[in-house]
């Protein structure tokens, strides 16, 4: 009779990133103890299946990092985010970048993160019901807006696309200006003219439109 104790179980590649070394090393050590998990370094992200991000505050820089991780893995990676709070817009953007699960930091233990990692690898999500409802409501609103306006993709300049991309990553006007080496006044002008030309309501609507129509 075969000895099932020696059976090799599936291994998933995992990268852990956190605001501080103590949190990162503690989480990584706990997850690494599971033989279904192969802990990878940050520079091995391209080989990872799941990225765990632990932070107190979800910032534009954090969303940009998620976007880069998604691009690095061809959209394959699944992200487990642990944070104190996330806004409606940040949640929508994070899902676009590969977010599989969101855990509220103050209610989360290592075992919860481990469960979320394994669920993410299986294509399942763990999101608080209130946040899930908020995200679904947002998607319904976007779909109604699109049906009502009959918007179609339009030709945008490279600068307009870059500005929309950075808006989608959560950066504000000053951060976008610094990133693209333009003046804040010019960036504001680009945003306002793009919103007006597309017939949209605001920055959030512009980002949603760009994502839906494949501009981003």
* This prediction's pTM: 0.63
Left if phi > 0, otherwise alpha if psi is -120 to 50, otherwise beta: which for 53?
Answer: beta
Strand (E) or helix (H) holding 54: strand 50-54
Do residues 162 and 194 lie in contact, with contact meaning Cβ atoms separated by under 8 Å? Answer: no
pLDDT tens digits, residue range 123-150?
Answer: 888 876 656 555 555 555 555 555 444 4
For residue 95, give the nearest of 84, 85, 107, 86 by alpha carbon. Answer: 86
Q: For residue 142, list its beta bridge partners.
A: none
CA angle 55, 208, 172 (to 5 degrees): 50
pLDDT tens digits, residue range 79-128?
Answer: 999 999 888 778 877 888 888 899 999 889 999 999 999 999 988 888 76
Output the pLDDT for position 1. 44
Left if phi > 0, otherwise alpha if psi is -120 to 50, otherwise beta: which for 199?
Answer: left
């Amino acid at each position: 009779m075969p000895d099932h104790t020696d059976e090799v179980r599936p291994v998933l590649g995992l990268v852990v990133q956190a605001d501080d070394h103590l949190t990162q090393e503690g989480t990584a050590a706990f997850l690494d103890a599971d033989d279904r998990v192969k802990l990878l370094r940050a520079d091995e992200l391209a080989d990872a299946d799941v990225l765990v991000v632990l932070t107190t505050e979800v910032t534009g820089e954090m969303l940009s990092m998620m976007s880069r991780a998604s691009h690095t893995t061809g959209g394959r990676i699944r992200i487990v985010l642990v944070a104190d709070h996330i806004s409606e817009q940040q949640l929508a953007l994070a899902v676009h970048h590969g977010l599989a699960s969101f855990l509220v930091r103050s209610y989360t233990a290592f075992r919860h993160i481990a469960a979320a990692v394994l669920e993410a690898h299986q294509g399942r999500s763990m999101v608080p019901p209130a946040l899930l409802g908020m995200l679904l409501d947002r998607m319904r609103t976007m779909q109604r807006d699109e049906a009502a306006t009959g918007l179609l993709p339009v030709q945008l300049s490279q600068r307009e696309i870059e500005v929309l991309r950075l808006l989608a990553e959560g950066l504000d006007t000053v951060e976008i200006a610094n990133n693209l080496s333009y003046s804040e006044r010019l960036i504001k002008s680009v945003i306002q003219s793009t919103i007006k030309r597309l017939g949209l309501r605001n920055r959030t609507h512009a980002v949603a439109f760009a994502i839906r129509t494949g501009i981003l």
